[in-house]
């Protein structure tokens, strides 16, 4: 990856896990990484409990909207992180894929969503360290 790497986070509804991951990567990575998120069956809105959990750590994802996963976005991404979208996730040769096994925060309480948020942060930190090594 010669230029700024691009990361696409994908989950079914693009309302919880993928939005939290995108929020963390934007927050921690700044301008070093292009961040995208999408869902195979997008919800109408972001999970309000995920919004609250992220707000607790100073990250505002309220302006984000769930988006449909499209071919062009996936094809233009260097790294595709899936979170339970199954077989609907497109596969492209030469892309880096990771499947993050995370509990689905849909319909869950704040304590559970906090745990998922914190696990996502750890994974995003590891991903960022790998994508933007210090020289």
| Of 7, 25, 54, 89, catalytic | 89
The answer to whether the beta carbons of residues 97 and 88 sit under 8 Å apart is no
3-state DSSP assignment of residue 97: strand
Q: Among this protein's residues, is 88 annotated catalytic? A: no
Q: Among this protein's residues, is 64 annotated catalytic? A: no
| Of 21, 74, 85, 124, catalytic | 85
| Of 7, 11, 20, 69, catalytic | 11
* DSSP class per residue in 2-59: -S--EEEEEESSSSSHHHHHHHHHHHHHGGGSEEEEEESS--SS--HHHHHHHHHTT-
Q: Among this protein's residues, is 80 annotated catalytic? A: no
Which among 88, 91, 96 has a CA at the least distance from the CA of 68?
Answer: 88
Would you name the residues annotated as active-site residues? 11, 85, 89
């Amino acid at each position: 990856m010669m230029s700024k790497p691009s990361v696409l986070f994908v989950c079914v509804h693009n309302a919880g896990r993928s939005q939290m991951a995108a929020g963390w990567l934007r927050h921690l990575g700044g301008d070093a990484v292009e961040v995208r998120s999408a869902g195979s069956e997008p919800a109408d809105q972001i999970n309000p409990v995920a919004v609250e959990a992220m707000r607790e750590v100073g990250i505002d994802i309220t302006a984000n909207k769930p988006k449909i996963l499209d071919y062009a976005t996936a094809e233009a991404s260097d790294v595709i992180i899936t979170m339970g979208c199954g077989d609907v996730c497109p596969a492209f040769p030469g892309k880096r894929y990771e499947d993050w096994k995370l509990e689905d925060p849909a319909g869950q309480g704040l304590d559970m969503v906090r745990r998922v948020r914190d696990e996502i942060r750890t994974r995003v930190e590891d991903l960022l360290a790998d994508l933007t090594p210090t020289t």
